[in-house]
Structures are given as C-alpha cells and as structure tokens.
Amino acid sequence: MTMKEVKIPFLIVVVVVAALLPIWVLAAAKQHHQEGGEKKKLRFGSDGQFKILQVADMHYGNGKTTTCLDVFPSQFPTCSDLNTTAFVHRMIQAEKPNLIVFTGDNIYGFDAADAATSLNEAFAPAISSNIPWAAVMGNHDQESDLSREGVMKHIVGLQDTLAQVNPSDQDVIDGFGNYNLEVSGVEGSGFENKSVLNLYFLDSGDYSTVPSISGYGWIKPSQQYWFERTSAKLRKAYTSKPQAQKAPAPGLTFFHIPLPEFASFDSSNFTGVRQEGISSASVNSGFFTTMVAAGDVKAAFIGHDHLNDFCGELSGINLCYAGGFGYHAYGKAGWNRRSRVVVASLEKSEKGGWGAVKSIKTWKRLDDQHLTAIDGQVLWSKSSAGMRRKKPVGGT
Ligand SMILES: *[C@@H]1O[C@H](CO)[C@@H](O)[C@H](O)[C@H]1NC(C)=O
Ligand SMILES: *[C@@H]1O[C@H](CO)[C@@H](O)[C@H](O)[C@H]1NC(C)=O
Ligand SMILES: *[C@@H]1O[C@H](CO)[C@@H](O)[C@H](O)[C@H]1NC(C)=O
C-alpha cells in the first residue's frame, strides 16, 4: 500500500473520531458517575429512618406459564410467577423501602428456559420502582444456562442495582456477590459523611465442592477474611473524628444458606415459626464466630428454608429467616407467602439533629388481602447493647 492510498481512510478516521469524541466522553463520564458516583450513596431519610425490604426465595421461572407450588387446589389455575411479581409490587407500595434486598434463589434455574430473561423479570418490580436494590445468590440461581459468575454479572448490569460481583480490594475471594454497602447519616447532620449502618452481602455458595463433604455450600475463609477486614476498616472510620464514636456502627449481614447456629432456638426463644429443619451446610464454617468477634453485626438475614420465618438472638446477634416469598417455591397451602421488613432508626443528637442509629426493628407482612403485618420486634437498641457487654477492640 502506498502512502497516498492510506491517507484518505486515515483522514476519514480522524474526522469520524473527532465527531464521536464528545459522545464517547459523555458516555464515559456517565458510566463513571454510575459506577462510583452519587447513585450508590445510601443515606438515612430526613425522617431519621432507613428501611430495608427483604425478599427471600422468589424461585422465579418463566413468568405466567410457570405454575405455583403448594397452594390450595382451587388456586392452581390462576396462580403463576406473576403472583410473585404482584407481591413484590404490593410490598414496595406498602412499605416504600429505601433498599430492597433479594437473598437468593431469585430464580429457580432448573425451570428457567433462559436465565437472563428470568432474572430480568424477577427483578423487574424493583427496577421499575427506581428504589436501589441489592441481591445475593442462593443454591438454585445457577441451574439454568448461566454459571454463578454469569448470574452475578448479569445482576450487576441491571438498572438501579447496588450489587457487585466481588470487592475490588481483595484479589482472591471465593464465590460471586461478596460486597458491602454503607448507609450515611442524614444530610446536613453531623453524621452526613459517616456510615452509620453497614450492610454486608455474602455468597453462601450452592453445594459443597469438597468430595468428602456432602450437602450445601458455606462461607469460605477468604470471604470471612474480607468481612473481617471490611468490618475493622469501617470501625476505624466510625470511631475516628469527626464525630468519633465509642462503639462501631451496627452492621447487618445478608446471605442465603443458614448457619448451623440457626438451630440454637426453639419456640421459647425465637419470634416466628420453625416448621422444617435448618438446612445448613454439614460443616460449620465459623462465620457466626467471625461475626461475633467482629463486634458490629447485630443481625443476619437469610432465606433457603421457606417454612421457617423466625428471628432468634444468640451472643448478641439476631439470626433471622424471612420466610418463603415466591409462588414457584415450595411452601404450605394456607400459610401465606411472606416478606421481612427491617427498619433502623436514628437518635436525636445533643444539638437536636439526627445522630447515630438508636434501634433496629423488624416485622413481616403476609401476602393476604391486607398485607397483614406480624411478629414486630426490636432486634437491637443502642442502650441495651451498650449495657450488655464491652465490645472487643481490634479486628485483623
Ligand atoms: C394469583 O393472582 C391471581 C390474579 O390476580 C389471583 O386471582 C389469584 O388469587 C392469585 N393466587 C394466589 C394464590 O394468591
Ligand atoms: C461532609 O463533607 C462535605 C464535603 O466534603 C463537607 O462540606 C461537609 O462539611 C462535611 N460534613 C461534616 C458534618 O463533616
Ligand atoms: C432456647 O431455649 C432452649 C430450651 O428451651 C435452650 O436449649 C436453648 O439453648 C435456648 N437457646 C438460646 C440461644 O438461648
């Protein structure tokens, strides 16, 4: 090729690049804004509250052609995944949460013809509400045509989600969907730049990958190490100026599979019901102890066992099921599908403005005509926890 022949296409390229440059710059700026910018900032509202809606086990299939499980015989003809969708919409409307958290088995992969389509439809009510949302995976999300990595990557690409595939500050970590979110104090208050509530999301896996160990997956040492470091980092920021606090900000964890410690309760010391066994991994990962040692976590929220919906407190941490949400998930006819709500409330500071988190409460709502609220309880309050025991200092 001679120089002359090259010149014309080169000039065209230059002109085209010059014309497109502003568009690229704008697109890149927008992308940057969405990735690291304002959109991801969670904050308490001017009413001093932050409300989380937990949706466990939607088990979404293919929409209106996917039948329901465990409803009364007369209900089968008119029941499908669309009932699950309607329930998400109703919960959002009734509670107007600040964040929606999906704790896994969002889709039931075995019955989903196309994982991406099922995920899109499952999360559609959250997306159309414009409310920020987060999700972790259960043991069924990867059973269609996407791997666990593929499912999490798809979720992270959806609109308004704060979910992340994995943290950027640790090279090696097991699973997909380990990340944390910070919730800042009220704008204009002394806590406007501090995370006063810390949310941790972890991938509890699907099934054991160790041949000699059968059963479900668990939270691995690499994930626990990340959690410990993150908790210690957040504690350091919270107990430093400005507004240096004595104890760490309360934390909440969200994952799918119960820890063996969920079996520590009976009806004398939990709120809610236990109607089936605790399907945890056959080994104890130690994550409960890790949470207790970190000192900030006040409650853990999971799904997996659809017929259990209780909260019980062990060593200062409330272990909470949400109860089954989805209609294509096993359940019990006559025992309504349900959802959990968690609200953190701020205290008034000495100067009269909003301060740190004072209490964390929860209740559930049933998918009946009136979305009946049940089992309201206080999970944690600042004064009582402060009295109970001295928090250990440190971390990793
Ligand atoms: C499912 O939704 C349909 C349409 O709104 C309704 O008629 C039916 O009662 C719902 N089924 C259940 C079990 O809630
Ligand atoms: C929070 O950060 C902003 C921006 O850096 C600053 O203007 C504001 O004074 C800070 N607020 C507090 C309470 O420190
Ligand atoms: C709950 O009560 C039972 C006895 O009814 C007891 O065995 C168990 O240790 C208690 N659990 C906790 C966490 O206090």
Predicted confidence (pLDDT) per residue in 67-120, tens digit: 999 999 999 999 999 999 999 999 999 999 999 999 999 999 999 999 999 999
Q: How many CA atoms lie within 13 A of 1 on its CB side?
A: 8
Share of the chain above pLDDT 90, in %: 84
Contacts of 325 (CB under 8 A, 6+ apart): 55, 56, 57, 58, 84, 87, 88, 303, 337, 338, 339
DSSP helix/strand/coil, 103? strand
Integer Cα distance of 139 and 203 in angstroms: 10
Each residue's pLDDT tens digit, 255-268: 999 999 999 999 99
- Comparing 177 with 1, the larger pLDDT belongs to 177
Structure tokens at 41: 């900032």
- CB of 192 shorter than 6 A to ligand 2: yes
Q: Any idea which architecture 42-388 has in CATH?
A: 4-Layer Sandwich (3.60)
- CB of 190 shorter than 6 A to ligand 2: yes
Which pLDDT band holds residue 17 (cuts at 50, 70, 90)? very low
Asked if 242 and 190 touch (Cβ cutoff 8 Å), the reply is yes
- CB of 314 shorter than 6 A to ligand 3: yes
- CB of 316 shorter than 6 A to ligand 3: no
Rg (CA), the chain: 23
Report the atom number in ligand 3 closest to the C-alpha of 269.
1
Structure tokens at 356: 């740190």
Which pLDDT band holds residue 35 (cuts at 50, 70, 90)? very low
Which pLDDT band holds residue 13 (cuts at 50, 70, 90)? very low
DSSP helix/strand/coil, 148? helix
Ligand 1 centroid–CA 72 distance in Å is 11
Ligand whose nearest atom lies closest to the CA of 78: 1
Report the atom number in ligand 2 closest to the C-alpha of 193.
1
Token pair 């019980």 in the structure block, residue: 312
Token pair 């941790």 in the structure block, residue: 200
**pTM confidence score:** 0.89
- CB of 265 shorter than 6 A to ligand 3: yes
- Average pLDDT score over residue span 199-214: 98
- CB of 315 shorter than 6 A to ligand 3: no
Domain boundaries, the chain: 42-388
| Nearest to 89, CA basis, from 131, 126, 121 | 126
Burial (CB count within 10 angstroms: exposed 0-12, middle 13-18, buried 19+), residue 312: buried
